[in-house]
């Protein structure tokens, strides 16, 4: 088996069927592959439609939402491919993207994880490359709201990344990742302490520590209906989920000190964003209708972060 394609689904409606359709259309008979769908207790008809249209592929049905990492591991554990392709159910595979990624990995044995170019439905680039969120990177998060010199952006947040060139990266979004099975056998599967978000950061960090490369490959392209899976389920709580996962990452690699520093920098980050958007509102810069929701979002996030504290325990998702 060349590739095991592992899809985690949760209430993505028609997109799951379209995702699988695009895989079959892209791959045809070029590679030996299997598709495994893990459904995280969907309440819509996405799984039913997939099973009606693709009865031959493998399905795992969870009675409760296990989170992305645990569901992905369920599929990996029953897979047999030389490579594991993790992808979200709100993606469309374009052209012969999977074949191109497969052949690149075959020729570059030092690459452990490979990501591709991601576009949105309006054909704009979805930025899926980032730096490891260590203290220096977290401290500059409030600067995201400002337009900084390109050389500085490149240095701290990769906003000027060349999305048309093959380059090594710190980490890539798990929305669409091709992973060498041999590497997973060495470092272990996804860390299930991450319910949603940051499991990709942790995976890529462990891969690089094992002396394999994380590579971005622009000659394979997918379309991503961004935040369908996260936003539909968690709404405004998405930011809280990101905070909790990053805090767990800090705890894993920096202990109590990392937790405290992460909490402080996230509070500062939210305060600066609230101040910035409030200033826009007061001085009538920009559209009020789009500014007010941003103020509410960051105020809500700040209050909940302070309530949770640096230990970031949120029982519903732990």
**For the segment 259-271, what is each residue's pLDDT rounded down to a tens digit?**
888 888 888 888 8
Mean pLDDT of all residues in 157-185: 88
Question: Is residue 308 in some structural domain?
Answer: yes
Q: Looking at residue 48, which CATH number applies to its domain?
A: 3.90.550.10
Structure tokens at 4: 């095991």
Band of the pLDDT at 226, cuts 50, 70, 90? low
Question: Is residue 195 in some structural domain?
Answer: yes
Predicted pLDDT of residue 94: 94
303 and 215 share a domain?
no
For every residue of the chain, DSSP letters joined together read: --EEEEEEESS-THHHHHHHHHHHHHHTTSS-EEEEEEEE---SSHHHHHHHH-TTSEEEEESS---HHHHHHHHHHT---SEEEEEETTEEE-TTHHHHHHHHHHH-TTEEEEEEEEE-TTS-B---EE----HHHHHTGGGGGS---HHHHHHHT-TT--TTS-EE-SEE-TTEEEEEHHHHHHH-S--TT-SSSSHHHHHHHHHHHTT-EEEEEEEEEEEE-TTHHHHHHHGGGHHHHHHHHHHHHHHHHHHHHHHHHHHHHHHHHHHHHHHHHHHHHHTT-S-HHHHHHHHHHHHHHHHHHHHHTTTT--GGG-
Q: How much of the chain exceeds pLDDT 70, in percent?
A: 83
297 and 186 share a domain?
no
Question: Is residue 135 in some structural domain?
Answer: no
Question: Is residue 157 in some structural domain?
Answer: no
> Which of 196, 226, 256 is the last residue before a domain boundary?
226
Count the domains in the chain. Answer: 2
pTM for the structure as a whole: 0.85
243 and 212 share a domain?
no
28 and 60 share a domain?
yes
> Which of 226, 246, 270 is the last residue before a domain boundary?
226
Q: Domain residues for 22? A: 3-127+165-226
Residue 286 pLDDT greater than 70, yes or no = no
7 and 110 share a domain?
yes
Question: Is residue 207 in some structural domain?
Answer: yes
217 and 275 share a domain?
no
Predicted pLDDT of residue 317: 47
Predicted pLDDT of residue 297: 83
> Which of 226, 249, 271 is the last residue before a domain boundary?
226
Band of the pLDDT at 235, cuts 50, 70, 90? low
Lowest mean pLDDT among 43-47, 128-132, 198-202: 128-132
60 and 170 share a domain?
yes
199 and 93 share a domain?
yes
For the stretch 20-41, pLDDT in tens is 999 998 887 779 999 999 999 9
Query: Kindly report the CA angle at 173 between 222 and 167, in degrees rounded to 5?
Result: 80
Q: What is the mean pLDDT of the chain?
A: 85
113-132 exposure pattern, b = at least 16 Cβ within 10 A, e = fewer: bbbbbbbeeeeeebebbbbb
Predicted pLDDT of residue 261: 84
Predicted pLDDT of residue 245: 87
Question: Is residue 38 in some structural domain?
Answer: yes
Band of the pLDDT at 86, cuts 50, 70, 90? very high
Question: Is residue 263 in some structural domain?
Answer: yes
Question: Is residue 75 in some structural domain?
Answer: yes
Q: How far apart are CA 300 and CA 297, in angstroms?
A: 5
Q: Please report, for residues 100, 189, 269, the alpha-carbon distance to residue 71 in angstroms, rounded to integers and kept in the order given.
A: 26, 11, 32
For the stretch 190-223, pLDDT in tens is 999 998 888 999 999 999 999 999 999 999 999 9
Residue 136 pLDDT greater than 60, yes or no = no
Q: How far apart are CA 98 and CA 28, in angstroms?
A: 11
207 and 278 share a domain?
no
254 and 176 share a domain?
no
170 and 260 share a domain?
no
Band of the pLDDT at 60, cuts 50, 70, 90? very high
289 and 210 share a domain?
no
Residue 139 pLDDT greater than 70, yes or no = no
């Amino acid at each position: 088996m060349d590739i095991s394609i592992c899809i985690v689904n949760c209430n993505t409606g028609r997109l799951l069927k379209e995702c699988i359709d695009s895989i079959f259309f892209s791959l045809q008979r070029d590679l030996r592959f299997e598709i495994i769908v893990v459904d995280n207790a969907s309440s819509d008809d996405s799984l039913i439609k997939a099973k009606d249209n693709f009865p031959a592929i493998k399905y795992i049905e969870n009675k409760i939402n296990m989170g992305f990492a645990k569901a992905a591991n369920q599929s990996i554990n029953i897979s047999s491919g030389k490579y594991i392709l993790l992808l979200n159910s709100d993606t469309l595979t374009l052209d012969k993207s999977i074949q191109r990624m497969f052949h690149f990995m075959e020729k570059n044995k030092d690459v452990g994880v490979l990501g591709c170019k991601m576009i949105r439905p309006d054909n704009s680039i979805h930025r899926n490359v980032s730096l490891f969120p260590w203290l220096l990177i977290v401290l500059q998060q409030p600067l995201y709201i400002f337009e900084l010199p390109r050389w500085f952006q490149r240095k701290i947040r990769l906003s000027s990344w060349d999305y048309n060139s093959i380059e090594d990266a710190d980490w890539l979004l798990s929305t669409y990742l091709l992973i060498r099975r041999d590497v997973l056998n060495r470092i272990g599967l996804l860390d299930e302490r991450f319910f949603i978000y940051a499991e990709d950061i942790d995976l890529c960090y462990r891969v690089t520590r094992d002396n394999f490369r994380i590579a971005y490959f622009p000659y394979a392209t997918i379309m991503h209906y961004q935040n369908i899976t996260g936003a539909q389920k968690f709404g405004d709580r998405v930011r809280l989920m990101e905070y909790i996962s990053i805090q767990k990452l800090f705890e894993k690699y920096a202990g109590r000190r990392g937790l405290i520093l992460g909490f402080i920098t996230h509070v500062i980050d939210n305060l600066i964003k609230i101040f910035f958007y409030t200033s826009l509102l007061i001085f009538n810069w920009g559209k009020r209708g789009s500014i007010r929701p941003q103020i509410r979002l960051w105020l809500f996030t700040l209050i909940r972060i302070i309530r949770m504290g640096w230990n970031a325990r949120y029982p519903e998702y732990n």
